[in-house]
């Protein structure tokens, strides 16, 4: 991709976290490209390309299961330029003639002002942290560093590009990401970053709840969830987003440790780490949600502050300011219904077949593997599914448990003879 962009006279670099991880000897989770080509120009070069986004136009180029994100170099607009452009007008300087590029107005808020095409250097200075502002030129095999990121990599420091007090006001989620990055890489926060977080930490509660929830899911998938949540607690950000975790029970840290061990056994994020499995580590050990509706604390009733209304496990739960999706809670409810039955040695064959056929069965098996401390049971059910042989309907046989060698076989029903046939 880089060579093709350069062949068509566009500047193109590998950018951001992938460069950082390669320099640290880590395997990048994905690869991002920065280029002088505008999104519609990228689309013309790659047939397997889709333009996404309203505020930020990005090109996603598909290669099998992998997606390469291609972003045009951008710069941050000054206050004077923003006033001249006007708050009600888009701040994309170059409009796209491509009919496939969806139009839209820039949303209000301070962060939309850096959605203007620019140079590689301008693009580097609009990024969040210096170690994320490095570019790699595939033609010269050189690292391009406009922001001092190489020095900070050597010092193992997370430092803000620009004044962190200004950058965190622009986007409070950057405070969260600074701590996440330091925890994952084993780096220290620059003193100015730590001071700015302490000064502006209350702003984290003004960030979009759905965006914060997505950041939580990224943390839980990282393999460093325990260290990250402890660091967020020390910075007193955790209590502002999820007050239930201000003084969490020891079981909470135990669940995170188990989740981290599972994740670290895999080179990349396994697809079976679904949101319901992840969110259970937040809700269940803290008592916010329990599979038994009669004993589960209910969400707060917005109309009666401080009181709680009856609920079922499928109801939406607001975990602090984070909205957990109803569908994820519903799947979690199915998981908690299945898991106790998996360890029942007297489970009838009929029930075993029903469990295996349920949509939540794969999630339940992964949940048990992570949190259940029952490797023998998990191995038996995996063996039953994968190698024990399947009946005519493709369902692994089971009677008194997943490893029962004497599972009965369904009798084939005789076909009725049609009237008048011989």
Catalytic annotation, residues: 30, 32, 128
- Which is nearest to 378 in space by CA: 387, 362, 365, 390? 365
Q: What are phi and psi of 244, to 5 degrees?
A: -60, -20
Residues 194-203: b if buried by 16+ CB within 10 A, e if exposed: bebbeebbeb
Asked if 309 and 298 touch (Cβ cutoff 8 Å), the reply is yes
CA–CA distance, 45 with 137 (Å, rounded to integer): 20
Q: Count CA within 13 A, CB hemisphere, residue 333.
A: 17
In this structure, the chain runs to a length of 422
DSSP lists the bridge partners of residue 34 as 13, 71
Q: How buried is residue 266: exposed, middle or buried, by Cβ count under 10 Å (0-12/13-18/19+)? A: exposed
- Dihedral angle over CA of 125, 23, 61, 10, nearest 10: 60
Q: Tell the burial category of 175 from Cβ atoms under 10 Å away from its Cβ (0-12, 13-18, 19+).
A: buried
Q: What is the rounded CA–CA span in Å between residue 178 and residue 283?
A: 25
């Amino acid at each position: 991709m880089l060579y093709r962009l350069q062949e068509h006279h566009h500047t193109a670099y590998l950018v951001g976290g992938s460069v950082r991880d390669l320099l640290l000897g880590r395997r990048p989770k994905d690869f991002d490209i920065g280029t002088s080509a505008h999104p519609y120009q990228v689309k013309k070069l790659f047939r397997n390309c889709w333009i996404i986004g309203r505020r930020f136009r990005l090109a996603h180029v598909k290669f099998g299961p992998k997606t390469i994100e291609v972003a045009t170099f951008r710069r941050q607009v000054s206050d004077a330029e923003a006033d001249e452009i006007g708050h009600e007008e888009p701040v994309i300087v170059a409009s796209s003639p491509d009919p496939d590029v969806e139009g839209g107005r820039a949303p209000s808020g301070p962060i939309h002002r850096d959605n203007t095409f620019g140079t590689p250097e301008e693009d580097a200075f609009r990024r969040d942290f210096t170690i994320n502002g490095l570019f790699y030129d595939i033609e010269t095999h050189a690292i391009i560093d406009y922001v001092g990121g190489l020095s900070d990599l050597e010092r193992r420091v997370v430092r803000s590009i620009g004044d962190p007090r200004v950058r965190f006001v622009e986007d409070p989620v950057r405070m969260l990401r600074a701590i996440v990055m330091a925890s994952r890489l084993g780096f220290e926060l620059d003193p100015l970053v730590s001071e700015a977080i302490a000064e502006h930490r209350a702003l984290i509660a003004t960030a979009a709840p759905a965006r914060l929830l997505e950041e939580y899911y990224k943390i839980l998938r990282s393999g460093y969830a325990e260290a990250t949540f402890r660091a967020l607690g020390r910075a007193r950000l955790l209590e502002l987003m999820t007050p239930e975790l201000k003084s969490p029970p020891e079981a909470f840290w135990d669940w995170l440790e188990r989740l981290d061990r599972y994740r670290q056994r895999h080179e990349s994020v396994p697809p079976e780490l679904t949101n319901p499995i992840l969110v259970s580590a937040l809700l269940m050990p803290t008592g916010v949600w329990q599979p038994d509706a009669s004993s589960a604390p209910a969400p707060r009733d917005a109309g009666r502050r401080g009181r709680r209304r009856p609920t079922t496990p499928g109801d939406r739960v607001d975990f602090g300011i984070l909205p957990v999706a109803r569908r994820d809670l519903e799947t979690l409810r199915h998981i908690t219904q299945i898991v106790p039955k998996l360890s029942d040695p007297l489970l009838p064959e009929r029930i075993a077949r029903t469990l295996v056929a349920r949509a939540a069965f794969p999630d339940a098996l992964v949940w048990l593997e992570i949190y259940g401390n029952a490797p023998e049971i998990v191995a038996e059910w995996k063996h039953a599914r994968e190698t024990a042989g399947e009946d005519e309907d493709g369902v692994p046989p089971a009677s008194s448990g997943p490893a029962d060698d004497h599972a009965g076989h369904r009798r084939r029903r005789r076909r009725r003879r049609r009237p008048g046939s011989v």
